[in-house]
Structure formats: C-alpha cells, structure tokens
C-alpha cells in the first residue's frame, strides 16, 4: 500500500518530542521510549506528547476544527524525515541555521520564563478587588442625554436658534434641518453618552448647559455647526466586580510581568555597544586658500551655449549643485592666434 503524502499543516514550530538521529551534534533531546511514541522513523521516535501538542495547536488555530488522526501522524512523520535529511546534509551546522536555532531557543526560553512567573505569582482576588475599587467602583463620571441639530454654516445655526427662541420645538427643527441622517429622523436624539465619546467642543458645550437648556451660540466641530439641547445627566453606575474580573486579570498580569522585567533590568549590568541615535552627516572640510572645494557627487559634463552661440562645457556635480565652468575650445585657442598676429 502506497502512503499518500499530505501537505504540511504545522504553522508553528513544535519543539522537542522527537528523538534526534545519532550524530546530529545538537543538544540532547529528552529520550523517547517506544512505549511513549506514535511512530518510529529510521530509529527516531516521535513522542505522543508531540502529537498531542500538534492537536491542541491546530485546534486553537482553527477554532476547534478536528483534523484526521492519520493526517496528523503522517505530517509528523514527514517533518521528521525532513529534519533527518537536513541533518544528513549538514544544514544544521551552517552558521546561519545555528544562529536562527539559537534565536528560537532564546525566544522560547523567554516566553517560558514569563509563563513560569505567572504560575508562581498569580493575580490574587485581593489584587483584583483593589484594582476594581481604584479604577471602576471609584469612577464617578457623568453621562449626558442630549439632542443636536447639525448644519453646514454658522448663519444656518443662528437662524435655528432664533426659531427656538420664538418657541420652536427642537425635535421638529432637527427633523427638518439636521444633516446628521440618523438623528434627523428621531429629532436629533443622541441618547446617553459620556463626555469622552464626543469631540471636545461638543462635550464642553453639553457639560456647560443646564438641564433643558440649548446653546445660545452655535458650536463648531469638524463636522459642521451644532445647536445642542441638554435633556438630562446622571452619574454612571459602575459594573459589578464579576462583570469586569476577566478584563482586570490579564491587565494585572501584564503589570506584574512588566515590574518583574524592570527589576531584572535594574539588577543587571548592561552595556549598550552601539549608538542609539543617528549621527548627523559631517560637513565638508573647508578648502585651503587658492584651492577649490572638494565636493562628492555624481559628475556629468553638460554642453551649454553662451549668448554668442559658442559651446561651453560645464562639469555638474549632481545633488551638490557645484558647477565648475571649463573654458570653451575657441577661448583656449584665442591667445595663440593673438600671439601669431603680434609676430606678424
């Protein structure tokens, strides 16, 4: 029976679990016995734990989708064959691969150091309660209920305010004039909101209004000009501890991990060996008296004609814009011709 080759499904490196072939020169992997293996590939056992890790990894990445057992086993077999082939060719000894493996090892160890710290220093219920009391229960922010009418210009807004002063009904005017499509259909009603949910000029105007009062001057934002009616306000009721516990726990975990890393950094002796800021380019050296300045750049010769139609060559140093004119061929010959005429 011919084994069907299946495409590799592994999307993350699964470290260890396979007994390396003899003479690989690498660090010794945990010894895997035949009883704890799912397959024997040229004398190298693939551990059951590697198979279980692959199942969990794929289930997490595919949101619980199950993969056929035979395909997963075949994939691990294929991977082991490729590893053995790489070792046979000495790929594992190349400096580039050795460096990559070392970086992978460091990354895994760093992640495991964090996980180990979290296991030994878990977030306690008292810490969660203290954070809740500090950040959630003690929050006495206010919610506001308001309506608004949005128009393009300040003059339009002033006309609407004039109609309100004459007794006009805010909701009807909003339905008639407001550019805000949704609110134009429900009388400009914005419902309940916190000040931070609105742009600053709008929220400041709402906070300054008394209950039942509308703005006597138009309020400008990036959306246009607003006329605002404050209908009510209330203190926000904080959610119960159980409702936010799952959000507070990872936040506190990150805080503890960060503090642990900062402590390690403070206790360590670290010397940074490279410059951390870009050095400004050096200015060109000043030319000595009588010398032309040396400017680096791309030099091109450009043919240019002067006012009399004579050809003048110029050396142009691109980007530096330093131009040095050469005397035209006719000009160079001129002194010799004058000398001949003098002799005559």
- Tokens 């293996």 locate to 37
Q: What is the CATH number of the domain that holds 179?
A: 3.10.50.40
Instruction: Examine residue 339 and state whether it is found in any structural domain, yes or no.
Output: yes
> Mutual orientation of helices 154-165 and 170-177 as an angle, nearest 10°?
150
Exposed / middle / buried, residue 32 (Cβ in 10 Å: 0-12, 13-18, 19+): buried
Instruction: Examine residue 135 and state whether it is found in any structural domain, yes or no.
Output: no
Please give the model's pTM, rounded to 2 decimal places: 0.52
Quick one: what percent of the chain has pLDDT higher than 90?
59
- pLDDT score of 308: 59
State the average pLDDT for the chain: 81
- pLDDT score of 312: 54
Q: How far is CA 193 from CA 126, 176, 231, 270, 335, in A?
A: 32, 24, 12, 49, 91
162 and 227: one domain?
Answer: yes
Check if the beta carbon of residue 77 is closer than 8 Å to that of residue 18: no
Residue 217, pLDDT > 80, answer yes
Weakest mean pLDDT among 119-133, 209-223, 318-332: 318-332
Q: Which residue has the higher pLDDT, 28 or 87?
A: 87
Residue 189, pLDDT > 60, answer yes
Q: Identify the domain boundary among 213, 235, 257.
A: 235
If DSSP states are collapsed to H, E and C, what string results for 195-255? HHHCCHHHHHHHHHCCCCCECCCCEEECCEEEEEEEEEEEECCCCCHHHHHHHHHHHHHHH
- pLDDT score of 280: 75
Instruction: Examine residue 311 and state whether it is found in any structural domain, yes or no.
Output: yes
- pLDDT score of 208: 96
Number of domains in the chain: 3
Maximum alpha-carbon separation in the chain: 117
Residue 178, pLDDT > 90, answer yes
Question: Which domain covers residue 209, as residue numbers?
Answer: 142-235
154 and 213: one domain?
Answer: yes
148 and 220: one domain?
Answer: yes
Characterize the bridge pairing of strands 142-151 and 44-47.
Answer: unpaired
pLDDT tens figures, 90-106: 999 999 999 999 999 99
pLDDT tens figures, 56-78: 888 888 877 888 999 999 999 99
- pLDDT score of 181: 73
Q: Which residue has the higher pLDDT, 187 or 316?
A: 187
pLDDT tens figures, 253-286: 999 999 999 999 999 999 999 998 887 777 666 5
**Phi, psi of 295, rounded to the nearest 5 degrees:** -125, 125
- pLDDT score of 320: 46
Instruction: Examine residue 163 and state whether it is found in any structural domain, yes or no.
Output: yes
Q: Identify the domain boundary among 93, 109, 126.
A: 93
- pLDDT score of 294: 52
Instruction: Examine residue 290 and state whether it is found in any structural domain, yes or no.
Output: no
Q: Identify the domain boundary among 74, 93, 112.
A: 93
Residue 221, pLDDT > 90, answer yes
pLDDT tens figures, 5-52: 444 444 333 333 333 333 344 455 678 999 999 999 999 999 999 999
- pLDDT score of 141: 81
Q: What is the CATH number of the domain that holds 81?
A: 1.10.8
- pLDDT score of 194: 87
Instruction: Specify which residues 267 forms β-bridges with.
Output: none
Q: Can you tell me the distance from the alpha carbon of 304 to that of 306, in angstroms, rounded to the nearest whole number?
A: 7
């Amino acid at each position: 029976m011919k084994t069907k080759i299946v495409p590799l499904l592994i999307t993350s490196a699964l470290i260890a679990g396979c007994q390396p072939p003899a003479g690989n020169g690498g660090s010794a992997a945990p010894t895997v016995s035949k009883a704890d293996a799912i397959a024997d590939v040229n004398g190298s056992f693939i551990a059951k734990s590697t198979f279980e890790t692959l199942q969990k990894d794929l289930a997490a990445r595919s949101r619980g989708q199950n993969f056929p057992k035979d395909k997963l086993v075949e994939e691990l077999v294929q991977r082991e064959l490729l590893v053995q082939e790489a070792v046979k060719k000495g790929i594992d000894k190349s400096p580039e691969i050795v460096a990559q493996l070392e970086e992978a090892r460091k990354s895994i160890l760093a992640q495991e150091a964090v996980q180990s710290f979290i296991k030994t220093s878990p977030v306690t219920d008292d810490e969660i309660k203290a954070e809740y009391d500090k950040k959630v229960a003690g929050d006495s922010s206010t919610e506001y209920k308001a309506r608004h009418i949005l128009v393009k210009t300040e003059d339009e807004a002033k006309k609407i305010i004039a109609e309100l002063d004459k007794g006009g009904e805010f909701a009807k005017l909003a339905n008639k004039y407001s550019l805000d499509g949704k609110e134009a259909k429900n009388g400009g009603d914005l419902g309940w909101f916190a000040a931070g949910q609105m742009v600053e000029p709008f929220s400041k105007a709402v906070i300054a209004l008394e209950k039942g009062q509308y703005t006597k001057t138009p309020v400008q934002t990036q959306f246009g000009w607003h006329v605002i009616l404050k209908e009510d306000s209330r203190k926000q009721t904080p959610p119960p501890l159980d409702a936010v516990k799952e959000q507070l726990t990872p936040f506190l975990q990150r805080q503890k991990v960060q503090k642990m890393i900062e402590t390690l950094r403070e206790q360590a002796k670290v010397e940074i060996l490279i410059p951390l800021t870009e050095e400004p380019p050096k200015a060109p050296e000043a030319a000595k008296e009588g010398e032309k300045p040396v400017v680096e750049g791309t030099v091109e010769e450009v043919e240019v004609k002067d006012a009399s139609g004579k050809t003048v060559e110029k050396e142009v140093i691109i980007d530096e814009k330093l131009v040095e004119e050469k005397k035209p061929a006719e000009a160079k010959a001129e002194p010799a011709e004058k000398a001949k005429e003098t002799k005559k």
